[in-house]
Amino acid sequence: MINELTYLNAKWFWPIVIIALLLMVLFIWKDYSSTRKKNRVLKIIVAFLAVLSLSLMALKPATQVKIPASTAIILTDNVDAEKLDSLRSVYPNIKTITYDRNTPLFSQDDRPTSVYILGDGISSFDLWQVEGLVTNYLGEGDISGIIALNYSQKNIKGNHSEISGVYHNPPSGNYLVLEGPGGIGLDSVLLDQKDDQEFKLSTQHKAVGKFLYALAEKDSLGNIRTKDPLPFDIKDRDLLHILMINRFPMFETKYLKNYLAELGHHLVVRSQLTKGKYKYEYLNSNSSYTTRFSQKNLEGYDLLIIDAASLRSLMGGQLNALKAAINQDGLGVYIQADDRFFRSPISWSGFAFKSETSKAIRFTNWPRIPILKQRFQFKDNLLLEPMHQKDSTIYSAYRLSGKGKIGSSVLSNTYELLLNGHTEVYQSIWTDIVSEISKSKEQFTKWSSDNSIAYKDEPFTITLHTNIKTPTLRSSQNLQLPLKGNIDLPRLWNVKTYPKYLGWQSFVLEQDSSEAFNYFVTDSTKWQAMRRYNTILENKRTLNDQIRSNDQNFKLQPITRIWFYSVFLLSVAYLWLEPKL
């Protein structure tokens, strides 16, 4: 037994000390106010013992007791039989424990001091069970499959989704196929590298709803080796009010306005015909929308598309009104650049360019389609947010300005993509530009999660940011879920759940049923390679890199309270009998 005393109720130490002192003061005052002076000192000592015993019973003192050393083997998925046999030959009577997710590995009384972990390892949400133990992780098997995946589950109708990732140890000659609902092939990539192959697939969303896509691996004969779910939650796009201003009619504007109008956006177009004479067009809109530059008039627009010549002509009050609309009201501005703008950008736009020789660019998504561009590229800086880039070269970008955004591009004559039959490429480019730069919609509730896919009976955490003071959250089964608040950020809440049902599930706020969070639940047999890879990495990082001190081989053992109780009873009995003797 170690000579180190601690208290299980240490948090009550000072309140108990204060109460004990008050009791002693009360007893001494009572004794000195009495006329009986016999055995006064002895009675004070006995009273002190009584109060001390009572205090110790409340504090629960304990000592550290050494735990006898014991070792166990924890078996997880994909155990190496040779490593297991080797351990058993060294430790013939070693205890073997089979790991099962969300199940206790051992009881407190049967807890070993050290463990060997074989196989893929313990899931990250169960690693707390081996905290304080000396662990030896002997996993790391061969993995072949997708070990990293990056894509956004939520998107807008008409937009493209890009699915990228890394395939570890790919079998040469196989294909990764992106399948839409119903198993229709949408995009594919050939696996032809040896170690780690990066891949990228894409598709355009043409309908609103919750859809289950899949990422399938097929051999050269078309046989499916693996097939894992890719859920998508597609929303309808918000219709925007867009103002387009040109110094003279442009083909780029002509095709762009038609495309935006087909999407349902409300457009007002002003083109200068001659000096002081303009042509006005109203698409999905009416003539009540004015083109006069004042902060009040611009407040009704989400996006201004303006050519550089018209922008340079703004002076005095008009320019100040535009800057105020951007910085204070969140207006987005897209500048249709010309050669003069590239060589001498408008200072407040915040852009700078450098010349280059190429007249076209082939993006990774469309390697066979050349897209025309000016002989310039953006000079990179920390304030730029790229919209289109290849490697480190930026071709379209925007920067934040107050509440709004200002953007531009070196791409030119993109309407020729339509004329050459590359409609999807044209739509993808302009969808990115318009959605990124336009005025951001104010959201009173925002949802987020670190994982795009949830697994049945495994923890799934969601973060909620809302202006509602005391939100109430309900599941698809109408069960109320407990929310954990953030002390520093009162509008930030977290909820952890263990999904019990497969398929699409949702969370909804009771105070605002229009704001729901949809997520997809699958079983643990899906995305096996990625789950194995992440588990191995987490076990190697957490278990083998921990530094443990020797005191982890000790446990706290409370001192039996019968001794304090006996002293208390004897002391109280003496104080009660002494006046009668």
Q: Are 429 and 265 in contact, with CB atoms under 8 Å apart?
A: no
**Are residues 264 and 372 part of one domain?**
yes
Percent of the chain with pLDDT over 90: 36
Cα distance between residue 50 and residue 568, in whole Å: 5
**Are residues 310 and 211 part of one domain?**
no
Among the candidates 236, 251, 279, a domain finishes at 236
Predicted pLDDT at 543: 80
Q: How confident is the model at residue 401 (pLDDT cuts 50, 70, 90)?
A: very high
Q: Is the pLDDT of residue 257 over 90?
A: yes
Q: Are 407 and 334 in contact, with CB atoms under 8 Å apart?
A: yes
Cα distance between residue 491 and residue 446, in whole Å: 10
Cα distance between residue 493 and residue 502, in whole Å: 25
* Structural domains in the chain (count): 5
Predicted pLDDT at 441: 77
Q: How confident is the model at residue 247 (pLDDT cuts 50, 70, 90)?
A: confident
**Are residues 366 and 312 part of one domain?**
yes
Domain holding 119: CATH number?
Answer: 3.40.50
Determine which of 31-40, 105-114, 271-280, 407-416 has the lowest per-residue pLDDT on average. Answer: 31-40
Domain holding 228: CATH number?
Answer: 2.60.40.10
**Are residues 397 and 251 part of one domain?**
yes
Predicted pLDDT at 237: 82
pLDDT digits (tens, 9 = 90+) for 155-175: 888 888 889 999 999 988 899
Structural tokens at position 90: 């060294």
Q: Is the pLDDT of residue 84 over 60?
A: yes
Q: Is the pLDDT of residue 288 over 80?
A: no
**Are residues 157 and 14 part of one domain?**
no
Cα distance between residue 500 and residue 454, in whole Å: 11
Predicted pLDDT at 406: 95
Find the mean pLDDT for residues 480-490.
Answer: 83
Choose between 109 and 91: higher pLDDT.
91
**Are residues 396 and 274 part of one domain?**
yes
**Are residues 347 and 282 part of one domain?**
yes
**Are residues 208 and 159 part of one domain?**
yes
Q: Are 468 and 509 in contact, with CB atoms under 8 Å apart?
A: yes
> Nearest-CA neighbor of 212 among 557, 470, 503?
503
> Concatenated DSSP letters for 377-395?
EEPP-TTEEEEEEETTEEE
Cα distance between residue 91 and residue 73, in whole Å: 10
Q: Is the pLDDT of residue 43 over 60?
A: yes
Structural tokens at position 331: 């207006």
Predicted pLDDT at 473: 86
**Are residues 366 and 274 part of one domain?**
yes
**Are residues 566 and 551 part of one domain?**
no
Find the mean pLDDT for residues 287-297.
Answer: 71
**Are residues 385 and 331 part of one domain?**
yes
**Are residues 108 and 82 part of one domain?**
yes
Percent of the chain with pLDDT over 70: 94
Choose between 519 and 36: higher pLDDT.
519
Q: How confident is the model at residue 551 (pLDDT cuts 50, 70, 90)?
A: very low
> Nearest-CA neighbor of 532 among 144, 231, 99?
144
Q: Are 506 and 519 in contact, with CB atoms under 8 Å apart?
A: yes
Choose between 196 and 177: higher pLDDT.
177
Find the mean pLDDT for residues 53-72.
Answer: 80
Domain range enclosing 372: 241-437
Structural tokens at position 95: 């205890």
